Structure 1
Amino acid sequence: MSLVGLIAQADERGLAASGLACLDRCLPLLGADDELLRPLWAGLADGEDSAAWGERLEQARRKLGDAGLEQPVGDKAGDGPADVAADTAAAGDEAVRLARRMLAAAPSVPSAAEVRVWADACSVASLRIHRLLGGAAPDEADAALTGARREGRTEGVSPLVAAELRRQVIVLELLAEHGAGGLRRALEVSTEGRRVLRAVVSRRARGRRG
C-alpha cells in the first residue's frame, strides 16, 4: 500500500506516531536535544488523554525556544561558485523552515481530524527536507515530485528520500499491526533516521568550512 493509503487508513494513535516520528527525525535541523520528544512518545505508549499530549507538546516547545531555529543549514557560502553556494543556502533555509513548521503545526488537542492533517503535512515536509538535503534545490516541481513519491512512484528517487519513504511506511505499518505495541520499534526506526539526517547536516557543515 502507498504511503498516502496508509495515512488514510491509520487510526488516531498511528497518525500521531507518524507525525511525531517525522518531526523526531528532523530534530537535528532545529539544534534540538535527541530526547526532546520522548515525553510525547511515552504519552502515546501510556494512552494518555489529549490534555496530557497538549501539555507535553507545550513543554517541548518551551525547551526548544528559539535555540537554533534561525540558524539555517546552509547559512554560509562555501568555496565553490557563488550560484552553487546560493542554492545550497536556499535549500538549507527551506529545510529548517519546514522542520520548524512541523513543530508549530502540531495540534494541542490531537483529535482524529486534526492529527490526520498534521501527520499528512509532516510526511510531506519530511520528504521535502530529505530531498533538499540530498542536493535538490527548491523549485516549483518539488510538491509534485513529493506527491508522486507518496503515491508509490519511486523511479529516480535519491537514496536519502527512498530511505525516508521506507521509514514512514514502516512506522505506519507497525502501528496498524501492533497498536501501542509497535511504538517501541517505531521509535527505533525514527532514531535511526535521525542519526542519518544528523550525519547529512554534519557533512554539509564540513563542506561549508572546507
Structure 2
Amino acid sequence: MSLVDLIARADERGLAASGLACLDRCVPLLGGDDEVLRPLWSSLADGGADGDAWGERLAKARAELDCADPSADTVPGLGPDPAPGSGSGAETETEAETEAAVSDEDRAAALARRMLATAPGDPCASALRAWADACSAAALQIHRLLDVAADGDGPLVAAERRRQVAVLELLAGRGAGGLRPALEVSTEGRRVLRAVVSRRARGRS
C-alpha cells in the first residue's frame, strides 16, 4: 500500500504517531537531544493524542526546542509561489536573492520547526490527518535537501519514505503495540540524519 493510502486509512493514534515519528527523526536539525519528544510518545501509549497529556507535553517540547509559536509556518526559500501578476519585478528579484542566501540546512531546519509549530494541541482526526500529511511531505523534503543525490529521490529520501511506510504499517497492524517498534524505526532514522548533519557541518569547517 502506498504512503498516501496508509495516511488516508490511519486512525487517530496512527496519524499522531506518523507525524510525531517524522518530527522525531528531524530533531537533530532543531538542536534537541534524543529524548525531547519521548513524553509525546508516552502520551500516545497512555491514551492517544486526544488526552490532556498530549497538549501539555507538546507545549513543553515547543518550549524546550524554542518553537513556542504555533503560527510559525514560513520556510525561507520554500514558501508558496506568489499569485500570478502579484508584486513587481524588483520584489521578485529580492525574493530570488533571499532564497539564494538561505542554505539547504536552514531550509531543512525551518521545515522541522514548522512540523513542531503546527502540531495540533487539541487534535481531532481531521487535524491529525492534515498534520501527518504535512509532516510526511516536510520530512521527505528535508531529506531531499540534505541528500547527496542532486536530483530525484536519493538514498536518504528513499530510506525516509520506507520508514514512514513502516511506522504506518506497524500502527495499522498492531495498534498501541506498534508504538515501541515505530519508535525504534524513528530512532534509527534520527541517528542517520544526525550523522548527515554532522558530516555536512564538518565539510563546511
Scaled by the length of structure 1, what TM-score is found? 0.78
Kept after mapping to 1: 8 A contact 2:170/2:179: yes
Identify unmatched segments of 5+ residues in structure 2: 68-98
Residue 62 of structure 1 aligns with an amino acid whose one-letter code is A
Distance 1:88 1:160, change over 3 A: farther
Task: Identify which of 116, 120, 139 aligns with 1:126.
Answer: 139
Number of aligned residues: 173
- How far off its partner does 1:157 sit? 2.2
Partner of 1:64: 65
Partner of 1:104: 117
Task: Identify which of 161, 180, 197 aligns with 1:184.
Answer: 180
2:106 and 2:65 map into 1 onto residues whose CA distance is 18
Partner of 1:14: 14
Kept after mapping to 2: 8 A contact 1:53/1:108: yes
Partner of 2:92: none
- How far off its partner does 1:90 sit? 2.2
- How far off its partner does 1:50 sit? 2.8
Query: Is 2:63 aligned against 1:50?
Result: no
Deviations 1:90-113 (A, max 9, x none): 211110110000000000012101
1:198 and 1:87 map into 2 onto residues whose CA distance is 25
Classify the secondary structure of the residue corresponding to 2:103.
helix
Kept after mapping to 2: 8 A contact 1:105/1:118: yes
2:149 and 2:19 map into 1 onto residues whose CA distance is 23
Kept after mapping to 2: 8 A contact 1:53/1:110: no
Task: Identify which of 88, 103, 106 aligns with 1:90.
Answer: 103
Identify unmatched segments of 5+ residues in structure 1: 67-85, 138-144, 146-155
Q: Share of identical aligned residues, percent?
A: 72
Kept after mapping to 1: 8 A contact 2:40/2:58: yes
Detail structure 1 runs of 4+ shifted over 4 Å in the superposition.
86-89
Distance 1:136 1:107, change over 3 A: farther
Residue 120 of structure 1 aligns with an amino acid whose one-letter code is D
Deviations 1:21-53 (A, max 9, x none): 000000000000110110000010111543221
- How far off its partner does 1:64 sit? 1.8
Partner of 1:162: 158
- How far off its partner does 1:167 sit? 0.1
Kept after mapping to 2: 8 A contact 1:91/1:136: no
Task: Identify which of 171, 184, 200 aligns with 1:204.
Answer: 200
- How far off its partner does 1:135 sit? 4.1
Kept after mapping to 1: 8 A contact 2:148/2:154: no
Kept after mapping to 2: 8 A contact 1:174/1:185: yes
1:130 and 1:9 map into 2 onto residues whose CA distance is 25
Residue 164 of structure 2 aligns with an amino acid whose one-letter code is Q
CA RMSD across the alignment: 1.9
Kept after mapping to 2: 8 A contact 1:50/1:110: no
- How far off its partner does 1:57 sit? 0.3
Residue 7 of structure 1 aligns with an amino acid whose one-letter code is I
Task: Identify which of 91, 102, 127 aligns with 1:114.
Answer: 127
